[in-house]
């Protein structure tokens, strides 16, 4: 039978893990609880640990409320959700992500994927875990995902491919082979036909090249946006409407020196639709229209649009802003978590992003 001291240590450590912010704090709580026990405190283990923790973090200086427990859930949670998240991405996005984690130098793709993962966790009410997902934790989980989910080349397939790709015997391996007369006639006819085709191609009019894809951000700047379809000053109403209509977990910010006027949607064709937020801007005395994208939308849009990666690299840091001069106005782009906001303004206002509050 375990000794009383041994049993106390086990119980104290169990409860300390539920409230501590890290392993060191858990150890300190256990030591303090053992000291209290030796001094005659016979309270239950959970009550004693709770008392010590509250003494360490009084009401006016609260601790992180057991962040170690959430931190220890990060690997397990990532390992569970990565297969589902990867299966929802389009094939080109999967290729880019896996390639990034196999190539230690491609950090921009990893940064974008980290935001995607955090947003997915938040959409499942796992914000506590999302806040603690580090680049290193995601990298480790991605390596486990790649090793566990993708099998090596089967032996039979490898042997068949290696056999087909093996060099054929040289021209002297089996002596000189005479080409049949019928084959020589066929070859001659083929040469005549190819010559005629090449001549026709040279003298014919050039075929128009297929229509090139437009760049997504330039296309947004070229579109005319009407008034809000749905009028409201309540951000939560807009967020619920976007969730219902577009299956999109949108963050609607408040505008300092401005008020929310409502929402409309922009149809980009090919089944692509985005939300557009309308504000009354008191500083400019006019309307401020903000189109919203996210990285999940960009994955779908790549089949229809070209996307200027320089803009995405510029806004990789959450406080960064990309400003481009467009006809008659400036296009200001920034990011909050996984959402990308694109505003059209009359001035190159680098401080515009700071006027938006994401509470």
Residues 307 and 257 in one domain: yes
Does residue 301 lie in a domain region? yes
CB 11, CB 45: distance < 8 Å:
yes
Does residue 227 lie in a domain region? yes
Boundary residue ending a domain (149, 180, 202):
149
Does residue 303 lie in a domain region? yes
Q: Which two tokens stand for residue 252?
A: 């609607």
CA distance 122 to 154: 39
Q: Tell me: the pLDDT tens digits for 219-273?
A: 888 887 888 888 999 999 899 888 888 888 888 999 998 999 999 999 998 889 9
With bands split at pLDDT 50, 70 and 90, how would you rate the model's confidence at 190?
low
Residues 286 and 349 in one domain: yes
Does residue 165 lie in a domain region? no
Does residue 232 lie in a domain region? yes
CA distance 235 to 112: 26
Residues 127 and 52 in one domain: no
Could you identify the residue written with the tokens 């070229």?
Answer: 222
CA distance 338 to 118: 8
Residues 277 and 342 in one domain: yes
Residues 79 and 52 in one domain: no
> Could you list the residue range(s) of the whole structural domain that residue 249 is in?
216-357
Residues 93 and 51 in one domain: no
Does residue 164 lie in a domain region? no
Boundary residue ending a domain (149, 168, 199):
149
Residue 108 has pLDDT above 50, yes or no: yes
Residues 38 and 111 in one domain: no
The four Cα atoms 153, 156, 160, 162 give a dihedral, to 10 degrees, of 50
Residues 353 and 287 in one domain: yes
Residue 103 has pLDDT above 70, yes or no: yes
Does residue 199 lie in a domain region? no
Q: Report the number of distinct structural domains present in the chain.
A: 3
Q: Name which of 126-135, 176-185, 286-295, 326-335 the model is least confident about.
A: 176-185
User: Taking Cα atoms as reference points, which of 50, 41, 44 lies closest to residue 7?
Assistant: 44
User: What pTM value is reported for the model?
Assistant: 0.47
Boundary residue ending a domain (133, 149, 165):
149
- The neighbour count for residue 262, using CB atoms within 10 Å, is 20
Residues 95 and 28 in one domain: no
């Amino acid at each position: 039978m375990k000794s009383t001291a041994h049993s106390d240590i086990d119980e104290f450590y169990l409860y300390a893990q539920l409230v501590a912010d890290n392993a060191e704090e858990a150890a300190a709580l256990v030591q303090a609880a053992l000291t209290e026990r030796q001094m005659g405190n016979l309270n239950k283990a959970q009550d004693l640990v709770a008392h010590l923790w509250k003494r360490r973090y009084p009401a006016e200086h609260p601790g992180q409320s057991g962040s170690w427990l959430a931190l220890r859930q990060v690997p397990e949670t990532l390992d569970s959700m990565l297969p589902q998240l990867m299966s929802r991405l389009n094939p080109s996005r999967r290729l880019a992500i896996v390639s990034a984690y196999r190539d230690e130098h491609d950090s921009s793709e990893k940064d974008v994927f980290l935001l995607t993962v955090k947003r997915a966790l938040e959409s499942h009410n796992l914000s506590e875990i999302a806040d603690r997902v580090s680049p290193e934790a995601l990298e480790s989980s991605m390596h486990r995902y790649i090793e566990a989910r993708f099998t090596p080349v089967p032996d039979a397939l490898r042997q068949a491919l290696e056999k087909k790709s093996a060099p054929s015997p040289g021209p002297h391996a089996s002596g000189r082979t005479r080409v049949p007369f019928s084959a020589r006639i066929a070859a001659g006819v083929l040469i005549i036909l190819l010559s005629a085709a090449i001549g026709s191609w040279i003298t014919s009019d050039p075929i128009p090249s297929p229509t090139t894809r437009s760049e997504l951000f330039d296309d947004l700047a070229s579109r005319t946006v009407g008034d809000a379809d749905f009028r409201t000053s309540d951000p939560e109403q807009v967020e619920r409407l976007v969730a219902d209509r577009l299956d999109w977990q949108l963050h609607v910010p408040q505008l300092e020196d401005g008020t929310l006027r409502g929402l409309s949607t922009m149809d980009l064709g090919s089944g692509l639709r985005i939300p557009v937020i309308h504000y009354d801007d008191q500083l400019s005395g006019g309307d401020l229209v903000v189109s919203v994208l996210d990285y999940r939308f960009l994955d779908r849009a790549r089949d229809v649009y070209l996307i200027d990666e320089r803009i995405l690299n510029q806004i990789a840091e959450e406080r960064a802003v990309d400003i481009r001069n467009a006809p008659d106005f400036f296009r200001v782009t920034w990011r909050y978590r996984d959402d990308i906001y694109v505003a059209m303004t009359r001035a190159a206002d680098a401080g515009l992003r700071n006027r938006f509050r994401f509470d």
